[in-house]
Structure 1
Amino acid sequence: MKTISPGAGAAVNGFRTAVAAIGVGAAALAGLYFTHQTHQLSRSAQYTERFSKAMEMLADKEEARQLGGVYALERIMRDSPYDRPAIIETLAGFIRLTSPAPSEDAQSFIESKKSPVPESARAAFYAIARRAVNPGDPEIDLSRCDLRLLHCKDANLVGVNFSRSDLRQSFFERGNLRESYFMGARLDHVWFSECDLTGSKFPEARIGNCMFDDSVLDEANFAVADDITEDSLTVMKSYAGAIFPWTD
């Protein structure tokens, strides 16, 4: 019988040990993967349950319950990237449903400082406005909404569609409204302070007494906007490449 030298025996034992270690490591990795998947499924089920409960609250007729639904959805939006797009669209749809644009003959200037927008709709708007910037967010449709007398600071409203909405007497400070669309919107007495409105479009928007204090309007389009005057330019921070009714 051929004998195995001590060196060869050590090599064989080392190989067996390595194989055993690899087996243990693979089992550990498989266990970790299974645990992770189980955890993910559990979290997904929790989000689904939380989302369902929040939607039930949002659909309630009592405004207090609706508010609870809005805040619950906002928490899920922060916690679950997967559910974020659906929640943003849900909140926008809720605003359109509960705060439709007023009629043309609605009071032109509101003396009261209280917004006519329902509290739950305001909460939904602010939830959208204060969300973190995310390139994967869906386009936000806030067209034909009553958004009067809102007060927003540091809002993320990039690319929002405000077509035919009424934003009269609202105040936006340091807001990011790049590429937003204001077709036919009521912007009378709106105050944009230190906002970025680069590339935004204002076709047929009514801009009487709208202020753009220290705001950036580069590449903005006011070609067929109503009531904008050259005096409006004096308070803008910049308007390079912007188009105005008097532009050749």
Structure 2
Amino acid sequence: MWSILAALVGLGAVGVALWQVPWWLDARYLPTITQPQATAVTGVRTALLAMGAGGLATVGIIYTHRTLHQNREGQVTDRYTKAIGQIASDKPVEQLGGIYALERIMRDSVKDHATIVEVLAAFVREHAPAPEISMQKPLQRWRDAGAQYAVLLRRNAEHNADPRPAEPVQAALTVLGRRPQDRDEPFLLNLGYTNLRRANLNGAHLEGANLNGAHLEGANLYGAHLEGAVLSSARLKEADLREVNLERAMLWGAHLEKANLYRADLEMADLFAADLEGANLWGAHLEMADLSKVVGQLTVEQLVSARPRRSTFLPERLAADPRVMARIDAVEKEGL
């Protein structure tokens, strides 16, 4: 504000100087000045005055723009604060309102994009954590805490009653999956160890996301973008992975039993210790994919239905199979 006032005062002083100083310096010549000369001097003064007025107008425009920008920033801050309050509510309707309000802010404000993505990811992790109870744990651990163990078992049973994510969690996933892709994100989207069973992630953009240990059994990931994603120990049993892009994805120890990988892109994917038993690999692209250490019963039929290449790393028993070798030759000849 002080700098703007100083600029206005300075422009005013310049205007006065332009208007009066020439006459002060040449006052002795005024009685003899001719009419054409006076007209020329007046024209110059008028032009200089117009230039000064233009400068003042420019300063006013700059000030107005700055004020509008500050007001807009204040409005964004107010909207963000209100949205955070909504998603912190215990009422699903208010949570939904807060989630979609954050999406609107994310699209309007580039600088708030990263923060909102992290907030929504944290919301999913908090409201849909992966189940921690396993019947494989020794009961000795609970010998002195029988009541607590019973409570945990009951909660686990209630949790399994409806495996779909709660509506606000699904909304947060939807917003994350369709977030703008033309912006830099200085972090990896963290959805690790979450319970996303039967979630709808159709076409979601989850490139490079951390999905370590995530429960995605029966999830809809049709056409999803998971390039470079980390899915170590992820549970993808019976998941819909048709035409999903898993290029360079890390699938160490992933559970892919009976998953539908129809025409999926597994180029350079690392499937060390992954379980592909019963998985549909029809048309799946396996260029440079590492299937050499998969567990479960990977069959010749699965590979023959897929698109293995000479660069595909296969178990020895399958790499030497005549049908698999013939399929590789056919795919290489197609060159697609």
- Range of TM-score over shorter length: 0.7 to 0.9
Instruction: Report how far residue 76 of structure 1 moved.
Output: 1.2
Q: Distance in 1 between matches of 2:93 and 2:61?
A: 43
Aligned length in residues: 241
**Structure 2 residue aligned with 1:218:** 267
The higher radius of gyration belongs to 2
> Please, which of 177, 198, 218 is the counterpart of residue 169 of structure 1?
218
**Structure 2 residue aligned with 1:124:** 172
Q: Distance in 1 between matches of 2:35 and 2:248?
A: 80
Q: Secondary structure at the match of 1:217?
A: coil
Q: Distance in 2 between matches of 1:74 and 1:209?
A: 35
Q: Distance in 2 between matches of 1:78 and 1:61?
A: 26
Q: Secondary structure at the match of 1:44?
A: helix
- The answer for unaligned runs of 5 or more in structure 2 is 1-28, 136-155, 294-312, 315-336
Q: Secondary structure at the match of 1:122?
A: helix
Query: Does the alignment pair 1:53 with 2:82?
Result: yes
Q: Distance in 2 between matches of 1:30 and 1:176?
A: 49
| CA deviation map 1:35-62 (0-9, x unaligned) | 1111111111111111111111111112
**Structure 1 residue aligned with 2:275:** 227
Instruction: Report how far residue 195 of structure 1 moved.
Output: 2.3
RMSD over equivalenced CA pairs, Å: 2.8
**Structure 2 residue aligned with 1:148:** 197
Is the CA contact (8 Å cut-off) linking 1:196 and 1:216 kept in structure 2? yes
Q: Distance in 1 between matches of 2:120 and 2:69?
A: 26
Is the CA contact (8 Å cut-off) linking 2:258 and 2:279 kept in structure 1? no
Is the CA contact (8 Å cut-off) linking 1:166 and 1:186 kept in structure 2? yes
Q: Distance in 1 between matches of 2:238 and 2:279?
A: 15
Is the CA contact (8 Å cut-off) linking 1:207 and 1:225 kept in structure 2? no
Q: Secondary structure at the match of 2:221?
A: strand
Q: Which amino acid aligns with 2:170?
A: R
- The answer for unaligned runs of 5 or more in structure 1 is none
Q: Which amino acid aligns with 2:288?
A: G
Instruction: Report how far residue 65 of structure 1 moved.
Output: 1.6
**Structure 2 residue aligned with 1:243:** 290
> Please, which of 61, 67, 86 is the counterpart of residue 32 of structure 1?
61
Instruction: Report how far residue 16 of structure 1 moved.
Output: 4.5
Structure with the bigger RCO (C-alpha within 8 Å, sep 6+) is 1
Q: Secondary structure at the match of 2:241?
A: strand
Q: Which amino acid aligns with 1:158?
A: E
Instruction: Report how far residue 155 of structure 1 moved.
Output: 1.5
Structure 1 residues 189 and 15 mapped into 2: Cα distance closer, same or farther (>3 Å)?
farther
The structure where helix makes up a greater share of residues is 2
Instruction: Report how far residue 19 of structure 1 moved.
Output: 3.8
Q: Secondary structure at the match of 2:193?
A: coil
Q: Secondary structure at the match of 1:203?
A: coil
Q: Secondary structure at the match of 2:201?
A: strand
Q: Distance in 1 between matches of 2:289 and 2:33?
A: 90
Q: Secondary structure at the match of 1:152?
A: coil
Is the CA contact (8 Å cut-off) linking 2:207 and 2:225 kept in structure 1? yes
Is the CA contact (8 Å cut-off) linking 2:227 and 2:246 kept in structure 1? yes
**Structure 2 residue aligned with 1:76:** 105
Q: Distance in 2 between matches of 1:153 and 1:230?
A: 22
Instruction: Report how far residue 6 of structure 1 moved.
Output: 6.0
Is the CA contact (8 Å cut-off) linking 2:235 and 2:256 kept in structure 1? yes
Q: Which amino acid aligns with 1:149?
A: R
Q: Distance in 2 between matches of 1:180 and 1:124?
A: 19
